[in-house]
Structure 1
Amino acid sequence: MPTAREALLDATVSALAARPWSAVRMVDVASAAGVSRQTLYNEFGSKEGLARALVRREADVYLRGVDRVLAERAVPADRLVALAEWTVRSARTSALIRALLTGCWSERLPAPRAHRTLGAHSPVPAQRRADAGVPGPSELVATVRDRSLAVLEKDLPAVEPVELARCCETVVRLALSYVLAPDPGPPGPHGGGGHAAQVRAVLARTPMRPVP
Structure 2
Amino acid sequence: MPAAREALLDAALSALGTLPWATVRMVDVASAAGVSRQTLYNEFGSKDGLARALVRRAADGYLAGVERALQSPGGTGDRLAATAAWTVRAARTNALVRALLTGCWGERLPRPARLSGPPSSPVPAQRRADAGPPTPAELLVLVRDRAVAALDGGRPPHDLAELAVTCEIALRLALSYAVAASSVPTDTAPLVREVVERWPAG
Which amino acid in 2 is paired with 1:196? A
Higher RCO by CA contacts (8 Å cutoff, separation 6 or greater)? 2
Equivalent residue number for residue 5 of structure 2:
5
Are 2:72 and 2:78, in contact at CA under 8 Å, matched by a contact in 1?
no
Q: Distance in 2 between matches of 1:136 and 1:46?
A: 22
Coordinate RMSD, CA, aligned: 1.7
Which amino acid in 1 is paired with 2:47? K
Equivalent residue number for residue 110 of structure 1:
110
Offset, 1:124: 0.1
Equivalent residue number for residue 131 of structure 1:
130
Q: 1:41-91 CA distances to partner (integer Å, 9 max, x unpaired)?
A: 000000000000000000000000000111122322110000000000000
Give yes or no for the alignment of 1:43 onto 2:36: no
Which amino acid in 2 is paired with 1:169? E
Q: Distance in 2 between matches of 1:27 and 1:186?
A: 42
TM-score (norm 2): 0.94
Which amino acid in 1 is paired with 2:61? V
Which amino acid in 2 is paired with 1:98? R
Q: Distance in 1 between matches of 2:96 and 2:119?
A: 27
**Which runs of no fewer than 5 residues in structure 2 stay unpaired?**
none
Offset, 1:120: 7.2
Equivalent residue number for residue 120 of structure 2:
121
TM-score (norm 1): 0.90
Which amino acid in 1 is paired with 2:190? A
Q: Which moved more, 1:25-34 or 1:195-204?
A: 195-204
Are 2:77 and 2:194, in contact at CA under 8 Å, matched by a contact in 1?
no
**Which runs of no fewer than 5 residues in structure 1 stay unpaired?**
188-192
Off by >3 Å, runs of 4+ in structure 1: none
Q: Distance in 2 between matches of 1:203 and 1:100?
A: 25
Question: Superposed, which structure 2 residues align to 1:157-176 within 5 Å?
Answer: 157=155, 160-176=159-175
Secondary structure of residue in 2 paired with 1:3: helix
Are 2:51 and 2:111, in contact at CA under 8 Å, matched by a contact in 1?
yes
Give yes or no for the alignment of 1:207 onto 2:177: no
Equivalent residue number for residue 190 of structure 1:
none
Equivalent residue number for residue 72 of structure 1:
72
